[in-house]
Structure 1
Amino acid sequence: MARVGIDLGTSNSLISYWNGDSAKLIPNALGDYLTPSAVSMADDGAIIVGQPALDRLITHPERSVASFKRWMGTDHQVKLKGKQWRAEELSAIILKSLKEDAEAFLNEKVTDVVISVPAYFSDPQRKATLNAAHLAGLNVSRLINEPTAAALAHGLEATAEGQFLVLDLGGGTFDVSLLHKFDGVMEICASSGDSLLGGNDFRDALSRFILAKHKLAFESLQSAEKQRILKEATALKKVLTDRAECEYRIEWRQTLLEGRLMRQEVEEVWQPLISRLRKPIERVIRDAGVSTSSIDQIVLVGGASRMPLVRNLVTRLFGRFPLIHPKPDHAIAIGAAIQAALHARDGALDEIIMTDVCPFTLGISAKNAAYTLEEAVMSPIIERNATVPQSREQFYSTVHERQQKIDVAVYQGENLRPSQNILIGRIEVPVPPDKAGHQSIGVRFTYDVNGALEVEVRVMSTGEAHRKVFNNQSGLSEAELERRFAELANIKTAPRDQQENIAIIARAERLYAEHIGESRDEISAILMEFLSSLNSQTLRDVDQLRASFTQKLNAFETGWNSPL
């Protein structure tokens, strides 16, 4: 059975496998390792995934969607071709596509996988990820925190022992973990992060900055125009990673937007985001109780970690240069495959022990009899960064005369006020009527490596116990999950052997939308020529046809890459 790991990302997703002595990435139908986390609906109702779906965000914005990972664990829905879609379903489509890529590459069925999630994903977000996997026909043997996966990929390669700080800045999330490696054990000491901060936020800020230069407001744009400027800003962000300045030229509404951008001025625009990056880093150092000088290496992973501003921030904070992972986009998927091999007790990894932590505080809402305050407060039972699996118990007493029941409300979060934290669920426990404070309960929390929480409440005077496992708090009932699973199974996807044609046609249509005048006419002509040749009964070499068409399209793919 294949040992498979998946990095289900906000911008891109990857799948990898353990080949017996190392983890290897699996290419998709287009031969790429990175599959954009984008979904689009074709005219005939077929689902299009990946790069062609990303291109269709510009040409068919009402039928396309991306960056839906940020909706995981919420009731947010998007309408595509007359149907409402949740983030779980859209993520399931990506997972299903990755599954098909792996089965085609490995020539065997893929069922059991390890999936990475941001360390700071809440309980509902983790359960939504599990639901997405279920909808895709996958069994998740383990959810692994993204910086933990990156640390595992780095730790396996690193020969030295010591403390390593892993900073993972992806497209939509930022995670930080402190790893202690010693005597064959890789222990996560502390984790923190921001699940609403990533490379896309830098892209969005840059988009607004460029539009402001031309007295345009992002909110006033049509859907296709918004996607167009976001795509261009993504390309520009990459250019400014390698250059101190660059020029841009955008054909826009029958006119031309052009100008020059300096990296320094753009970094000033990004300063509020950089300030947000500091907080999780400082929290991890504080929670782990270590000094910055005791950290042996700082490792940067995630595609957005390539930005010089991020590297400069880390250098200033720690007084030394960070270690840049050679392929920051790949590290998490590699680590997930290693974890899959560990879970399967692969002989090559017998000597490696990996521990992880609970990223959030788990507790209940309780009143303190020592104070006259009527408002309940958060009473922690398992505090953040406790090693998992973890089991802890706290005791509570009744607060009212003749009280007959206790409502145990379970929360996740760091705020003193329960209302500001995430409600995971409730257990109502009957108690014998008695004087206030005379009846007590023991509340035990047991938290496992996948983020499943079991709560046991014991009435001390009677010994009666009530247990509940909170493992489906994502807003979907089991019946709703099965209904949506059946619906997804009946939806057709574009044939795998047609993916290259779909992708190149979507690219041509996107270039047509981006250009005006003679360029647009030329793109239209070569697209019609390609489609005509593709449908010709005399076609002998489709690969040569695609190569020739691609070469012609390359001449129009200028984007932000204008020379200085």
Structure 2
Amino acid sequence: MDTQQQLIAIDLGTTNSLVGIYQDGESTLIDNAYGQKSTPSAIALDESGQILIGQAALELRHKGLPVLTSFKRLMGTDKKMQLGQQRFNATELSSLILTTLKQDAEHALGHSVNEAIITVPAYFNDIQRQATISAAELAGLKVARLINEPTAAALAYGLGQSEDSCFLVFDLGGGTFDVSIVELFDGVIEVRASAGDNYLGGDDFVSMIMKQFWLAHGVQFGAEEGVETIPIDIETALRAKAQRALHQLSKDSQVSLDFSWQGVDAYMQIEQQQFNQWVEPLLTRLRRPLERAMRDARIRPNDIDQIVLVGGATRIPVIRKMITKLFGRFPSTSIQPDEAIVRGACVQAGLKAKDQSLKEVVLTDVCPFSLGIAITEEHVFDPIIERNTVIPASKVNNYQAIHKGQRSIGVKIYQGEHRLCKENIFLGELDVPLPPNNELLTIDVRFSYNPNGILDVDVHVPSTGENLQKVLINHQSVMSAEQVEQARLELAKLKIHPRDNLVNKALLLRAERLFSEHTGYLRQEIGEKTQQFSQILDGQDERKIRETRPYFEKFLNDIEQQGMFDDY
């Protein structure tokens, strides 16, 4: 394969993002500037006005500075997020993450890349998928294919399977939840059904810890009794502590959440059983898409051969316990949950590039939601493509004008499962003119849904022979080509911290955080080591910096592992 045309694969996640390639018959993940596979989907602005992306951005949370995360949940909306004096939408913020991943890939491969396979939640609607494509364009990437996240995971899992089987992909990331029923037979990986929730993920379990902490201790920080709303500066710092507590609960039966802010200290002991009670409403929300997917696939729990867990949030013990109880067996742990999606996307990149080692693999996917139009004056939803139809799909329905002599028909397009259109997602509309006539004229409406999950709408008017075509875009929230170009020019003006110095910056910010968290001898030692490393950086001797950095990083790792009990 021509390296200049080499496809990269990107898992653009709510919490973390990864990039890889398919090479020499296998998926290979690419390290970022920190030497890690995973890049936090976080963006911040430091005191000098430079944009920090990834781990360095997260290290600013303890200062109460704005750190933008979870913006993937806002894809396809008009909502803006503030960073310094500028405001960005989720598409622009996602493009910065994609740009960073593209640079990591180019650094590792030694040549430029301009095309990518990008994963999206199966339940992302047409508008969100268009926004993802716009984000890629802003980053200088052409999208060769959007692939649903659980489908990518199924591809990674099914590639090594030789026997026919039916498995369930349970994909719980930082901000979204998807579930897919997949059958593997005769070299074909077939997605039978998908369901999900775009606003349910690990972030919600973190938020539940924050809510309980604030209800118990908010008064100490100036809040009124019983108030759940956390001030934004405190919320940013508290979220970091709550995330650590959640990670700890994945290993231990209890954890302590210690939080300090402007001289006020608060402490909370969290028991595993107590946490399980807090998140019961979230578990109920997880069960609904599970039941829908199995109902649509017309299978029972005992028909499932294996349950594949995908996404970092599946490490939460109460979630694994729920799955084990529902299916009467333990889920599979053969694939690293954090890497399954990007590894499957790498396989898709190999398929797209016609890699010879993948010539026997066939993948089929489904449309995870129903697509249709509003009919009657009450705006009742009439599905044209039903959910879990195998894609690509194309279907035409015939519709009649409501009144004789009607001069136009408004075709309003929706996505969803509710009988009433107002309860579904509005995707766009097309006004179809009709000729003067005293009859009830008809139109043919064709929906075509491609493998990227993008909907095309074609309307034919039999009485005139006229055809109207619309590549469906909701202009209120998806960027036009002109807007993409304007945004690209604006983003190019940003002062983004140089990639080569990002690791050093992150280490200094991490040292500052640990200094603020500790007291006594440890604080003194952290201060001394930080000063020594800063002086070496000031010397600008690259060889000396490379030699010293691992020792400073190990020192910080040791401090983090010791925790609060060694302050003396």
TM bucket, shorter chain: over 0.9
Secondary structure (helix, strand or coil) at the match of 1:503 reads helix
* Structure 2 CA distance for partners of 1:134 and 1:265, relative to 1, 3 Å: same
Q: Structure 2: how far apart are the matches of 1:80 and 1:165? A: 40
For residue 321 of structure 2, the aligned residue among 312, 321, 326 is 312
* Structure 2 CA distance for partners of 1:252 and 1:468, relative to 1, 3 Å: closer
2:560 corresponding residue in structure 1: 557
1:42 aligns with 2:51: no
After superposition, the CA RMSD in angstroms is: 2.2
Cα distance, 1:411 vs structure 2? 1.1
1:286 aligns with 2:299: no
* Structure 2 CA distance for partners of 1:398 and 1:297, relative to 1, 3 Å: same
Choose 217-226 or 383-392, whichever is displaced more: 217-226
1:391-406 to structure 2, matched below 5 A, reads 391-406=394-409
Cα distance, 1:228 vs structure 2? 2.2
Q: Structure 2: how far apart are the matches of 1:549 and 1:426? A: 58
2:341 corresponding residue in structure 1: 332
1:136 corresponding residue in structure 2: 139
Secondary structure (helix, strand or coil) at the match of 1:531 reads helix
Cα distance, 1:555 vs structure 2? 5.1
1:322 corresponding residue in structure 2: 331
1:355 aligns with 2:399: no
Cα pair 2:238 2:259 within 8 Å, conserved? no
Q: Structure 2: how far apart are the matches of 1:238 and 1:67? A: 17
* Structure 2 CA distance for partners of 1:526 and 1:343, relative to 1, 3 Å: same
Secondary structure (helix, strand or coil) at the match of 1:79 reads strand
For residue 237 of structure 2, the aligned residue among 228, 232, 253 is 228
Secondary structure (helix, strand or coil) at the match of 1:341 reads helix
* Structure 2 CA distance for partners of 1:323 and 1:562, relative to 1, 3 Å: farther
Cα pair 2:241 2:258 within 8 Å, conserved? no
Q: Structure 2: how far apart are the matches of 1:514 and 1:71? A: 32
Cα distance, 1:413 vs structure 2? 1.3
Secondary structure (helix, strand or coil) at the match of 1:274 reads helix
Cα distance, 1:111 vs structure 2? 1.0
Secondary structure (helix, strand or coil) at the match of 2:560 reads coil
2:254 corresponding residue in structure 1: 245
Q: Structure 2: how far apart are the matches of 1:38 and 1:361? A: 33
TM-score, normalised relative to structure 2: 0.93
2:350 corresponding residue in structure 1: 341
Cα pair 2:8 2:19 within 8 Å, conserved? yes
2:199 corresponding residue in structure 1: 196
| Matched letter for residue 429 of structure 1 | V
1:261 aligns with 2:270: yes
| Matched letter for residue 156 of structure 2 | A
1:67 aligns with 2:45: no
* Structure 2 CA distance for partners of 1:225 and 1:552, relative to 1, 3 Å: farther
Q: Structure 2: how far apart are the matches of 1:560 and 1:69? A: 32
Q: Structure 1: how far apart are the matches of 2:487 and 2:14? A: 22
- 1:244-295 CA distances to partner (integer Å, 9 max, x unpaired)? 2234444444354334321111111110100000000000001111122212
1:478 aligns with 2:481: yes
Secondary structure (helix, strand or coil) at the match of 1:441 reads strand
TM-score, normalised relative to structure 1: 0.93
1:444 aligns with 2:453: no
Cα distance, 1:512 vs structure 2? 3.6
For structure 1, list consecutive stretches of 5 or more residues without a partner in the other structure.
368-373
Cα distance, 1:331 vs structure 2? 0.4
Choose 375-384 or 537-546, whichever is displaced more: 537-546
1:365 aligns with 2:374: yes
Q: Structure 1: how far apart are the matches of 2:479 and 2:459? A: 25
Percent of aligned positions with the same letter in both sequences? 43
Q: Structure 1: how far apart are the matches of 2:481 and 2:78? A: 16
Cα distance, 1:414 vs structure 2? 1.4
- 1:222-251 CA distances to partner (integer Å, 9 max, x unpaired)? 434222221111111111112222344444
Cα distance, 1:540 vs structure 2? 5.2
Secondary structure (helix, strand or coil) at the match of 1:535 reads helix
* Structure 2 CA distance for partners of 1:464 and 1:50, relative to 1, 3 Å: same
2:81 corresponding residue in structure 1: 78
Cα pair 1:48 1:493 within 8 Å, conserved? yes
Q: Structure 1: how far apart are the matches of 2:563 and 2:299? A: 43
Q: Structure 1: how far apart are the matches of 2:565 and 2:205? A: 21
* Structure 2 CA distance for partners of 1:278 and 1:560, relative to 1, 3 Å: farther
* Structure 2 CA distance for partners of 1:66 and 1:259, relative to 1, 3 Å: closer
1:465 corresponding residue in structure 2: 467
* Structure 2 CA distance for partners of 1:126 and 1:506, relative to 1, 3 Å: same
| Matched letter for residue 113 of structure 1 | A
- 1:34-55 CA distances to partner (integer Å, 9 max, x unpaired)? 1000112234433211000111
Cα pair 2:536 2:544 within 8 Å, conserved? no
Cα distance, 1:155 vs structure 2? 0.5
Q: Structure 2: how far apart are the matches of 1:91 and 1:47? A: 14
Cα distance, 1:319 vs structure 2? 1.5
For residue 412 of structure 1, the aligned residue among 406, 412, 415 is 415
2:113 corresponding residue in structure 1: 110
Cα pair 1:126 1:451 within 8 Å, conserved? yes
* Structure 2 CA distance for partners of 1:467 and 1:561, relative to 1, 3 Å: farther
State how many pairs are aligned: 555
* Structure 2 CA distance for partners of 1:538 and 1:183, relative to 1, 3 Å: closer
Cα pair 2:80 2:88 within 8 Å, conserved? yes
Q: Structure 2: how far apart are the matches of 1:561 and 1:303? A: 26
2:29 corresponding residue in structure 1: 25
1:493-504 to structure 2, matched below 5 A, reads 493-504=496-507
Q: Structure 1: how far apart are the matches of 2:194 and 2:401? A: 35
Secondary structure (helix, strand or coil) at the match of 2:32 reads coil
1:151-190 to structure 2, matched below 5 A, reads 151-190=154-193
Q: Structure 1: how far apart are the matches of 2:421 and 2:191? A: 27
Q: Structure 2: how far apart are the matches of 1:358 and 1:129? A: 17
* Structure 2 CA distance for partners of 1:248 and 1:364, relative to 1, 3 Å: closer
Choose 417-426 or 205-214, whichever is displaced more: 205-214
